[in-house]
Amino acid sequence: MTDLVPISLTVNGERVSAEVLPRLNLADFLRDQLGLTGTHVGCEHGVCGACTVRVNGDIVRACLLLAVQTESASVQTIEGLSDSGEVSDLQAAFRDRNALQCGYCTPGMLMAAQDILIHEPDADREQIREHLSGNYCRCTGYHAIVDAVEATARARSEQAR
């Protein structure tokens, strides 16, 4: 057995102090120790995107990060993005367009969608598809998701004008 490592970070704006085993990955830390089960586990090898969260503003795979690596970091999960209202328009678009069915990919998908909306606000359908190509959805076949992201992009750019 190895020693516990103390870490101190911010999760969804809240200061968190914990003692963790080095091998504990961020996804399991969020889910099991902080009860933030909105971040989902689908593969544990970084391919499916279900565990996508934000660390220091960048989207990352929580299954490929150790909790100990988040010392002093700012982590945001889907719960945080929801409560702050940052993605409320995107969530509404998903709801109206039925861009989710079982909901398992949805938190990660919203993270990735918000990422392209921030970094490439003028993205077209093909670019949206490319940016989301690391997030597996088995239910929707992606068409509705692309529609919802595209609609949100248009609405945001109209608001910006």
Partner 1 sequence: MKASAFSYARASSVVDALDLLARHGDQAKVLSGGQSLMPALNLRLSAPELLVDIGAIEELRGISVANGVLTIGALTRHVDILRSAEIARHAPLLTDAIAHVAHPAIRNRGTFGGSLAHADPASELPACALALDAVILVRSRDGERRIQAADFFTGIYETLLAPDELLVAVEVPVAKPNAVHFFHEYARRKGDYAIVGLAASGILDGDVFTGLRLGYFAVGDKPMLAMASDHLTGRPVTTSMLADAQTALDAEFDPQEDQQATAGMRRYLARQLMARCVSTLLGRQDLETRALA
Partner 2 sequence: MNGASGKKSGLSVLDRPNSYIGKTVPRPNLDRLLQGRGQYVSDMVLPRMAHAVFLRSPYAHAKILKIDATTARAMPGVIAVVTGAELAKVITPWVGVLSHLKGLKSAPQHAIAIDRACWQGEAVAAVIATSRALAEDAAEAVAVDYEELVPVTDMRTALDPDAPVIHADLGDNLAFERTLDAGAVDQAFKDSDEVVEAEFVFGRHTGVTLEPRAVLADWNSGEERLTVYLGTQAPHMVQNIAALHLGLDEAQVRVVCKDVGGSFGIKVHIYADEMATLALSKLLRRPIKFVADRVESFNTDIHARDHVCKARIGVSKNGIINAFEIDDVTGIGPYSMYPRTSAIEANQVVNLVGGPYTTQNYRARTRVVFQNKNVTCQYRGVGHPIACSITEGLVDLAAQRIGMDPIEIRRRNLIRDDAYPCGSPSGLKFEALSHHASLDKLAAMMNYDALRAEQAKLRKQGIYRGIGIGSFIEVTNPSAAFYGVGGARISSQDGVAVRLDATGRVICQTSITEQGQGSESLTAQIVGSVLGVSMERVRVILGDTDNTPYGGGTWASRGAGIGGEAALQAAKVLRKNILDVAAAILQAGPGDLDIVDNAVVNVDGGQQRIELHELARIVYFRPDTLPPGFQPELMATRHFVPREYPFAFTNGVQASWLEVDPQTGFIKLLKHWVVEDCGTLINPQLVDEQIRGGVVQGLGAALYEHCIYDERGQLTNANMADYLVPMSGEMPDIDVGHVVSPTLESELGAKGAGEAGTAAAAAVVTNAVNDALAPFNVTITEIPLTPRVVLTALGRI
The Cα–Cα gap between 69 and 81 comes to 22
User: At 99, which amino acid appears?
Assistant: A
Among 124, 130, 138, 154, binds partner 1 (CB under 8 A): 130
98 binds partner 2 (CB under 8 A): yes
Give the per-residue contact string, 108-137, with partner 2 (x = CB under 8 A; - = no): --x--------------x--xxx-xxxxxx
Q: Which does 30 bind (CB under 5 to 8 A by kind): partner 1, partner 2, none?
A: none
Minimal CA–CA distance to 116: which of 52, 71, 70, 161? 52
Count the neighbouring beta carbons within 10 Å of the beta carbon of residue 47: 13
Contact of residue 4 among partner 2, partner 1, none (CB under 5-8 Å per partner type): none
150 sits near partner 1 (criterion: CB under 8 A): no
Cα gap 151→58, rounded to integer Å = 23
Choose among 3, 10, 53, 48: nearest CA to 28: 53
| Binding of residue 90 to partner 1 (CB under 8 A) | no
Euclidean distance between the first and final Cα of the chain, in Å? 58
Pick between residue 98 and residue 157 the one whose CB is nearest to partner 2.
Answer: 98
Q: Which residues pair with 6 in a beta bridge?
A: 19
Instruction: Kindly state whether residue 23 participates in binding partner 1, applying the rule CB under 8 A.
Output: yes
23 binds partner 2 (CB under 8 A): yes
Q: What residue ranges bind partner 2 (CB under 8 A)? A: 1, 23, 31, 36-45, 47-48, 50, 77-79, 82-83, 91, 94-98, 100-107, 110, 125, 128-130, 132-146
